[in-house]
């Protein structure tokens, strides 16, 4: 039921050798899906390193950004606006065009961050992975952690790019899934479906922020609010992450993630990756699709399996 997420740099042509003609891949790929401010600060401005600001909502277009960062526009060009659901993945063609316009080459290293800590940056990271680019990492602590460390920022319009990139998206199978795959996973004893929303929204005791959606959760889903695997905008240690996921997944190794619109589900996906899980997928439509009043998807209310 879908493919396992690849290890870093193991997919030929995307983060593993292809790039600008005559220019080798960036020689210092990220050590994993998460890097610290010190790691980025030592490499900031080096050729082949692209820093992307994936802030959304109220934090989009923040006046302050990491020096040289480019906008990964989740609210705009990097969501599919041909349908009714927010933040769903665009097709490979528009995704390729937007990333090329940001200067991305196939052999580059990418670090993504956001203005919250770890929030929408995880979505950008998983989108890159789903489109075949494996040399990407999330900045632990995001912009707040960077600023707190006294590291350089800038404001105003970004400088013009010296050249377009040559990145080409190659969508992978099974990393982003639809409602049918989620429905099958809910009855699969080898799979667990995690919901990253708050306990109140999961139980149906608080309204959904998007008008018209039903309250509650999928029958059989488990609840791990995305903020509970972080501390002050940084990911908790790997051992704590493994314990949090194992408490709910038990011996199931195929994990699927949902949230309100497919953004914070990716925070759980990042946490599960750090915890050592490899067979992972994000429900792209998430509750914005499952919770539609016109849909025929089952919804239940009240507590279920939740993080302690």
**Mean pLDDT throughout 69-91?**
92
Model pLDDT, residue 23? 43
Lowest mean pLDDT, pick from 25-39, 41-55, 124-138 = 25-39
Helix (H) or strand (E) holding 35: strand 34-35
- Residue 94, pLDDT > 90, answer yes
Q: Which residues contact 211 (CB under 8 A, 6 or more apart)?
A: none
- In whole angstroms, what is the distance from residue 39 CA to residue 111 CA? 10
Does residue 259 carry a catalytic annotation?
Answer: yes
Q: Which residues contact 66 (CB under 8 A, 6 or more apart)?
A: 40, 44, 51, 53, 113, 143, 146, 151, 152, 153, 154
**Mean pLDDT throughout 77-92?**
92
Helices 238-249, 265-274: inter-axial angle, 10-degree rounding? 110
Model pLDDT, residue 160? 80
Residues 3-16 as b/e (b if ≥16 CB within 10 A, e otherwise) read eebbebbebeebbb
**Mean pLDDT throughout 50-62?**
81
Higher local confidence (pLDDT), 126 or 161? 126
Model pLDDT, residue 305? 63
Higher local confidence (pLDDT), 271 or 87? 271
- Residue 53, pLDDT > 70, answer yes
Q: Going along 260-308, which residue ranges are E strands?
A: 279-283
**Mean pLDDT throughout 279-289?**
98
Q: Are 48 and 23 in contact (CB under 8 A)?
A: yes
Name the residue among 124, 123, 116 with its Cα closest to residue 140.
116
Model pLDDT, residue 152? 97
**Mean pLDDT throughout 29-57?**
95
Model pLDDT, residue 177? 98
Domain 176-290 has CATH 3.40.250.10: yes
Lowest mean pLDDT, pick from 13-27, 169-183, 277-291 = 13-27
Third-level CATH fold of 34-154: Oxidized Rhodanese; domain 1 (3.40.250)
- Residue 128, pLDDT > 80, answer yes
Over residues 201-216, the pLDDT tens digits come to 999 999 999 999 999 9
The residue extents of the domains of the chain are: 34-154, 176-290
Mean pLDDT score of the chain, rounded to an integer? 90
> Which listed residue (259, 265, 272, 282) is catalytic?
259
- Residue 103, pLDDT > 60, answer yes
**Mean pLDDT throughout 191-198?**
99
Over residues 141-179, the pLDDT tens digits come to 999 999 999 999 999 877 787 789 999 999 999 999 999
- Residue 71, pLDDT > 50, answer yes
Q: Tell me the whole-structure pTM to 2 decimals.
A: 0.90
- Residue 260, pLDDT > 50, answer yes
**Identical fold at 34-154 and 176-290?**
yes
Model pLDDT, residue 63? 75
């Amino acid at each position: 039921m879908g493919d396992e997420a690849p290890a870093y740099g193991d997919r030929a042509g995307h983060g593993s050798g292809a790039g600008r003609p005559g220019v080798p891949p960036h020689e210092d790929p990220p050590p994993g899906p998460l890097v610290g401010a010190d790691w980025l600060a030592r490499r900031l401005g080096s050729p082949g390193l692209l820093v992307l600001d994936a802030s959304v909502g109220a934090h989009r277009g923040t006046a302050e950004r990491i020096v040289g960062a480019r906008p990964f526009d989740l609210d705009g060009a990097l969501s599919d606006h041909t349908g009714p659901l927010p933040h769903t993945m665009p097709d490979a063609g528009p995704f390729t065009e937007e990333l090329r316009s940001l200067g991305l080459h196939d052999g580059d290293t990418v670090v993504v961050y956001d203005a919250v800590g770890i929030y929408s940056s995880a979505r950008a990271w998983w989108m890159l992975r789903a489109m075949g680019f494996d040399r990407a990492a999330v900045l632990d602590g995001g912009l707040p952690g960077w600023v707190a460390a006294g590291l350089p920022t800038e404001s105003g319009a970004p400088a013009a790019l010296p050249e377009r990139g040559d990145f080409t998206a190659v969508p992978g199978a099974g990393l982003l899934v639809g409602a049918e795959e989620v429905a099958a996973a809910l009855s699969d004893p080898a799979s667990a479906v995690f919901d990253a929303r708050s306990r109140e929204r999961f139980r149906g005791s608080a309204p959904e922020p998007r008008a018209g959606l039903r309250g509650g959760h999928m029958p059989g889903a488990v609840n791990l609010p995305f903020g509970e695997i972080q501390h002050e905008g940084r990911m908790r240690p790997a051992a704590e992450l493994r314990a949090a996921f194992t408490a709910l997944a038990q011996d199931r190794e195929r994990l699927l993630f949902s949230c309100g619109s497919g953004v914070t589900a990716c925070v759980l996906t990042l946490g599960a990756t750090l915890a050592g899980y490899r067979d992972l997928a994000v429900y792209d439509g998430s509750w914005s699709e499952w919770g539609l009043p016109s849909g025929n998807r089952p919804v239940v209310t009240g507590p279920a399996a939740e993080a302690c």
